[in-house]
């Protein structure tokens, strides 16, 4: 399979008055062409910082990619200039965020907003731009697109607005779409519809998708592969079945046990006790040590190596490493 994106040893730091936050600590990740990769983790795990790094959307001057590379279609995005990045954004890579309202301008019609991106990046006639806007509204399932083009964002429901944002993100036919918690602001039924829409769009356009979410239900619906982040690191990665049916990292297992399922009573839900590690002073060993029921002496002292369980499935946990001496802490 052709890799469209490859992140190697990414480190991202933020300087604050309280010190330096090591938000991303050596992330390795790839995305195959035409697939959906979900980056999963709780808030502060580094998932948004990782995806924002791809688009160079780390707030400056406090945030900085201090190490690593992000190869996209043969070039390292970490090394691109601001001007080059502006040309890539929206055309080669598009991003959509949680709240559709902040992405839409309340004073412009949907038609104007849809065609704005197109006109910025290509010389295109008014008629062609309108045609493309209509095509996009049809693609994302907006009924009566002709009359809808002249309407303003407030005339649409929340779910319809997120569909419009998705249409805007796709109008220049990007190779990569990054969606950061794209359905968190929507109610559950609409969430499911939007996730279906992502799948349909991928089938029709072949776009590769990175989906950032804390919601494993969303992941189960659309992801081909999953990367689980914890404490600024990817602690387990695999295809959907590896992660849902054969999870190996105690954190992944805990995460799955804390998800409500239709076939389970609510009282069997197991929240994970404890708090995530302090990224001002990240632990030198496994970041999950303080919360892990299986923690051994080695876990606190040495970060686990990556164990390759199969071609698709990797985990960073001493339980999978024969070299670990099994002394409990």
CA angle 247–7–195, rounded 5-degree value? 60
The CA–CA distances, whole Å, from 328 to 57, 226, 251, 325 equal 42, 30, 18, 9
Per CB under 6 A, contacts with ligand SF4 among 259-288 are 286, 288
Q: Which helix (H) or strand (E) holds 220?
A: helix 216-222
Q: Rounded to the nearest whole angstrom, what is the least distance from the CB of residue 47 to ligand SF4 in the complex?
A: 18
Q: Measured between alpha carbons, how far is 43 from 213 in angstroms, rounded to an integer?
A: 9
Q: Rounded to the nearest whole angstrom, what is the least distance from the CB of residue 67 to ligand SF4 in the complex?
A: 23
Beta strands at 306-308 and 314-316: parallel, antiparallel or unpaired: antiparallel
Per CB under 6 A, contacts with ligand SF4 among 291-320 are 292, 294-296, 299, 304, 317-319
Backbone angles phi, psi at 196, to 5 degrees: -60, -40
Calculate the CA 306 to chain-centre distance: 22
Q: Is 48 among the residues that bind Mg ion (CB under 5 A)?
A: yes
Binding-residue pattern over the window 225 to 264 for ligand SF4, x denoting contact by CB under 6 A: ------------------------xx--------------
Q: Which helix (H) or strand (E) holds 27?
A: strand 19-32
Tokens matching residue 107? 């004073």
Placement of tokens 């990367």 in the chain = 227
Q: Rounded to the nearest whole angstrom, what is the least distance from the CB of residue 232 to ligand SF4 in the complex?
A: 14
Segment lying near Mg ion (by CB under 5 A), choices 43-51, 137-145, 228-236, 246-254: 43-51
Decide which of Mg ion, ligand SF4, none touches 156; Cβ closer than 5 to 8 Å per partner kind: none
Looking at beta carbons only, is 20 or 184 nearer to Mg ion?
A: 184
Segment lying near Mg ion (by CB under 5 A), choices 47-55, 130-138, 141-149, 311-319: 47-55
Q: Measured between alpha carbons, how far is 284 from 281 in angstroms, rounded to an integer?
A: 9
Looking at beta carbons only, is 77 or 234 nearer to ligand SF4?
A: 234
Interaction site with ligand SF4 (CB under 6 A): 249-250, 286, 288-289, 292, 294-296, 299, 304, 317-319
**Residues at the contact surface with Mg ion, assessed by CB under 5 A:** 48
């Amino acid at each position: 399979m052709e890799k469209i994106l490859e992140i190697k040893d990414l480190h991202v730091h933020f300087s604050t008055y309280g010190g330096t936050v090591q938000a991303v600590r050596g992330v390795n990740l790839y995305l195959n062409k035409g697939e959906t990769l979900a980056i999963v983790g709780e808030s502060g795990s580094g998932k948004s910082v990782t995806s924002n790094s791809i688009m160079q959307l780390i707030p400056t001057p406090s945030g900085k990619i201090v190490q690593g590379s992000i190869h996209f279609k043969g070039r390292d995005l970490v090394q691109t200039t601001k001007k080059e990045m502006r040309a890539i954004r929206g055309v080669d890579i598009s991003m959509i965020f949680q709240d559709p309202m902040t992405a839409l301008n309340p004073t412009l019609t949907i038609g104007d907003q849809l065609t704005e991106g197109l006109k910025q990046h290509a010389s295109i006639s008014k008629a062609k731009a309108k045609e493309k806007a209509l095509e996009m509204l049809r693609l994302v399932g907006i009924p009566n697109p002709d009359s809808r083009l002249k309407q303003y964002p407030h005339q649409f429901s929340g779910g319809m607005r997120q569909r419009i944002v998705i249409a805007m993100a796709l109008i220049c036919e990007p190779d990569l779409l990054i969606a950061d918690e794209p359905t968190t602001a929507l109610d559950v039924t609409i969430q499911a519809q939007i996730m279906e829409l992502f799948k349909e769009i991928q089938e029709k356009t072949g776009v590769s998708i990175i989906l950032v979410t804390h919601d494993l239900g969303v992941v189960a619906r659309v992801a081909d592969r999953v990367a689980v982040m914890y404490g600024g690191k990817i602690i387990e990665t695999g295809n959907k079945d590896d992660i849902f049916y054969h999870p190996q990292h105690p954190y992944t297992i805990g995460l799955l046990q804390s998800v409500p399922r239709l076939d389970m009573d609510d009282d069997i839900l197991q929240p994970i006790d404890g708090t995530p590690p302090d990224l001002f002073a990240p632990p030198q060993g496994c970041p999950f040590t303080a919360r892990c029921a299986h923690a051994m002496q080695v876990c606190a002292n040495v970060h686990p190596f990556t164990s390759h369980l199969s071609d698709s499935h990797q985990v960073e946990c001493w339980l999978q490493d024969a070299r670990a001496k099994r002394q409990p802490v």
